[in-house]
Every structure is written in C-alpha cells, then in structure tokens.
Amino acid sequence: MIRNLNLLYFSATDTTKKVIKSIAKGFNEDAKEYDITLPENRMNSLNFKENEIIIIGVPVYAGRVPEFLSEYFLEKIHGNNTYAVFIVVYGNRAYDDALLELKDIFENNGFIGVAGGAFIGEHSYTERLATGRPDDGDLNIAYKFGKDISEKINNIGTFTQKLKVKGNYPYRKGMVYEPVMIDTDESCINCGICSMHCPTGAIDKYDNKSIDIFKCIRCCSCIKRCPVNAKDINYDPHKKFLIEFISKYSSVRQEPELFSTY
C-alpha cells in the first residue's frame, strides 16, 4: 500500500503543474507538494523512503531535461527504493530524450520507475503552439493514468519489470542559453508579478525592467504573466525562429504518450 504520495515539479507557466495535479487526483490520496519552480525552493536536499511514491514533472527544453534541474536532481533528490512516476511536458514539437533522461537521473538516485508519460502544454514562447493545453482531454487522460497507477500499485505491490520509455542515449544536445534580453516597454507598472514568479531570480524585485540576461532561461513566465503585456522578446533571430517554428508545428496536434511496467 502507498504510505505517502509526493509531487515534485518545476512549472514556470503552470502547464506542468496542471498535469501533475491531475495525475495526483487519480490516486485519491492526500499529497505532499514540492513546487521547485522558485530558486528558494531548490535549496534543500530531499530524501524519500521505501513504499512512498513520487510523481515528478518537468518541462522539456530542446528535447532534454533543463540542465539546471538535472544538476539539482542529481545533487539533492534521493530515494530508497521509492516508487516514481516520470512526467515531461513539451510544446507540441517533440520530447526527444527528456523522458528517458528524467528516468535515468532518478533511477540512478534510488528510485524505482513504475510509469512515465509525455504530455503537451502550450509552448512557453507562443500561444500559437498547443494553444490552451493541457486541455480537458489531456487532463482527463492524466487523471485516468493516475487512477490506473494507483490501482496497480495497491493490487500488485511489487514491480519486477524495468520501466521502458522512448528516448536515446547518448542524449541529444541540450539547450544553449545564449544571453537574450527580455524587453520591457513603458506600459510596465512595476507590479512585481514577474519577479515574484521568476524561477531563476533574474528579474529585479524593485525595478522589474532590470533583468539579468545571464540568469534568464527564457521560460517566458514573465511574458505570460504580465497583466499589461509589457514584456516580450524582440531579438530578430528569435522572431525569425519563432515564425518558422509556428509554421512547422502549429498544424499538428500531438497526443500524450504513456508508459508503465505493468
């Protein structure tokens, strides 16, 4: 039987959070949440016990687990034969090696993978890719997935097969964080919403127009959350990339993919 259900997720624009919480609803158990989106929530080490289960959710950055998260997981998150469900959320292109990488990180740190999934969320760069997702259909799939996992864990108890997911090793090359400025126009009201939600602390709390481009990971939380639409990326190469990206992937609807050991 499950003693404790834990949720561990990074969700700069709340898409990953929605998927993880929908999966958790299917367990019909009280869950302890570890929202590691903000930098102060990634300071302490976490250790999970045998017979606990943890649902881990991360966004996909260029087909990989974001590098700063993989470093955090390897250093500070440890299990003791702890059951784990691995979830990645991507913006309608592909998740490439991210799910395999997430599984490998945690299985090497004392966790036993019992299930995994790749879900789709509205792309952080634009609302024109996977608009409004995860939608009701996605969240219903997530809920049923969680319910199924819970029933199997409580009925089977012990899993002997190793979890297999899509992906390749060596992993594809990860995202290169070239310094790109998030522009803030004169409509900014310095409300602090962007700095409050910045996952790397790149935005000055007192002057919201001041952004450390070397800390910024282009998660676009500030752009999506701004109540007056004061922020954007006006860098020409980025704009050109985005036009091509939207043209190539906006007409395709990717669907969730699920994996399990049962």
CATH of the domain at 211: 3.30.70.20
The reported pLDDT for the residue numbered 1 is 60
Residue 94 covered by a domain: yes
Say yes or no: 21 and 126 in one domain. yes
| CATH number of residue 124's parent domain | 3.40.50.360
Residue 176 covered by a domain: no
DSSP-based three-state secondary structure for 157? coil
Say yes or no: 18 and 73 in one domain. yes
Residue 243 covered by a domain: no
Residue 199: cis peptide before it, omega within 30 degrees of 0: no
Say yes or no: 215 and 164 in one domain. no
Residue 244 covered by a domain: no
Say yes or no: 133 and 223 in one domain. no
Residue 224 covered by a domain: yes
Say yes or no: 39 and 161 in one domain. yes
Say yes or no: 166 and 44 in one domain. yes
Q: Which of 221, 175, 228 is nearest to 200 (CA)?
A: 221
Question: What CA–CA distance (Å, rounded) separates 79 from 69?
Answer: 17
In the chain, pLDDT over 90 holds for what percent of residues?
Answer: 91
Say yes or no: 30 and 158 in one domain. yes
The reported pLDDT for the residue numbered 180 is 85
The reported pLDDT for the residue numbered 154 is 86
Say yes or no: 57 and 94 in one domain. yes
Question: What CA–CA distance (Å, rounded) separates 150 from 200?
Answer: 34
Say yes or no: 124 and 161 in one domain. yes
H-assigned helices in the chain: 15-27, 67-76, 98-107, 136-156, 193-197, 221-225, 236-249
Domain encompassing residue 143: 5-170+252-260
**Rounded to two decimals, what is the model's pTM?**
0.96
The reported pLDDT for the residue numbered 216 is 94
Say yes or no: 109 and 212 in one domain. no
Residue 245 covered by a domain: no
Question: What is the number of structural domains in the chain?
Answer: 2
Say yes or no: 187 and 166 in one domain. no
Say yes or no: 159 and 192 in one domain. no
Residue 240 covered by a domain: no
Each of the 262 residues of the chain gets a pLDDT tens digit; together they read: 667 999 999 999 999 999 999 999 999 999 999 999 999 999 999 999 998 999 999 999 999 999 999 999 999 999 999 999 999 999 999 999 999 999 999 999 999 999 999 999 999 999 999 999 999 999 999 999 999 999 998 887 677 789 999 999 999 998 777 788 999 999 999 999 999 999 999 999 999 999 999 999 999 999 999 999 999 999 999 999 999 999 999 999 999 999 999 7
The reported pLDDT for the residue numbered 160 is 77
